[in-house]
């Protein structure tokens, strides 16, 4: 909640908080706004079909959730296997809904599109990350150590930018398997 308003969209939340922190300042340039929109309207839709692309990848993502959550043994097994199977089937519907024929190719293309947008800069914001950098990083961070994220870093040019973002923001507290 911000000023009594329920905020569920991360971009709306960032906009409102930025206006509170910088009431007289320029919030963002056209380029930054364009790429934040790209995150919301394109990048986020590619993730689920990649995270839950196969049953083994779906199980991998739920393994982390259930291992680090406060679940009993029975709850952990139920959540892991039922959740993974449910999301595997949901991801297939999302893939169709967003006209994704090859989920990995779409992920790699998105990563390359982002790197191209940097135009040789360290960050889209120049020497320091801006809100668009943070939005892309925030969307990609949860998948970084899953198979889809490892594949993305291995098969695209996004790894250097991702490492710079980790250094700027701080590494995840996620325990790496």
At 19, the pLDDT band (50, 70, 90 cuts) reads: low
Q: Residue 50 and residue 170: Cα distance in Å, rounded? A: 25
pLDDT at residue 153 greater than cutoff 60:
yes
Backbone angles phi and psi of 170, in degrees to 5: 110, 145
- 29 band by pLDDT with thresholds 50, 70 and 90: confident
In-domain check, residue 20:
no
Taking residues 120-134, report their average pLDDT. 96
For 57-80, write each residue's pLDDT tens digit. Answer: 999 999 988 888 888 999 999 999
Are 64 and 177 in contact by the 8 Å Cβ rule? The answer is yes
Buried b (16+ CB within 10 A) or exposed e, 97-135: eeebeebbebbbebbeebbeebeeebbbbeeebbbbbbb
Predicted TM-score (pTM) of the model is: 0.81
Tell whether 176 is covered by a domain.
no
The CATH number assigned to the domain holding 104 equals 1.20.1050.10
Is residue 1, in this structure, part of any structural domain at all?
no
Band of pLDDT at residue 1, cut at 50, 70 and 90 = very low
Instruction: For 31-62, write each residue's pLDDT tens digit.
Output: 999 999 999 999 999 999 999 999 999 999 99
pLDDT tens digits, 87-111: 999 999 999 999 999 999 999 999 9
pLDDT above 90 coverage of the chain, percent: 72
Please check whether residue 49 lies inside any domain of the structure.
yes
Per the domain annotation, does 67 fall within a domain? Answer: yes
- Domain range holding 123? 28-169
Cα 28–31–32 angle (5° rounding)? Answer: 45
What confidence score (pLDDT) does residue 23 get? 52
Our count of domains for the chain comes to: 1
The single-letter DSSP state of residue 71 is -
Assess if residue 40 is contained within a domain. Answer: yes
Whether 68 is in a domain gets the answer: yes
Q: How far apart are CA 142 and CA 131, in angstroms?
A: 18
- Indicate the average pLDDT of the chain: 87
Q: Which residue reads 């893939």 in tokens?
A: 95
Is residue 81 within 8 A of residue 59, CB to CB? The reply is: yes
Residue 16: pLDDT over 80: no
What distances in angstroms separate CA 53 from CA 49, 95, 109, 158, one per listed residue? 5, 9, 17, 21
Residue 8 lies in a domain: no
- Between CA 146 and CA 142 the distance in angstroms is 8
């Amino acid at each position: 909640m911000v000023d009594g308003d329920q905020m569920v969209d991360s971009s709306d939340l960032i906009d409102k908080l930025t206006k509170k922190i910088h009431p007289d300042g320029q919030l963002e340039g056209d380029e930054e706004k364009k790429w934040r929109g790209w995150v919301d309207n394109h990048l986020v839709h590619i993730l689920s079909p990649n995270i839950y692309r196969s049953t083994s990848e779906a199980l991998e993502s739920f393994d982390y959730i259930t291992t680090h959550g406060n679940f009993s043994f029975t709850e952990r097994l139920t959540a892991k296997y039922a959740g993974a199977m449910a999301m595997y089937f949901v991801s297939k519907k999302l893939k169709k809904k967003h006209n994704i024929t090859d989920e990995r190719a779409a992920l790699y293309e998105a990563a390359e599109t982002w790197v191209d947008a940097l135009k040789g800069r360290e960050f889209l914001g120049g020497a320091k990350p801006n809100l668009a950098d943070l939005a892309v990083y925030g969307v990609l961070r949860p998948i970084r150590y899953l198979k889809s994220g490892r594949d993305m870093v291995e098969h695209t040019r996004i790894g250097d930018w991702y490492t710079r973002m980790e250094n700027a923001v701080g590494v995840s507290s996620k325990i790496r398997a």
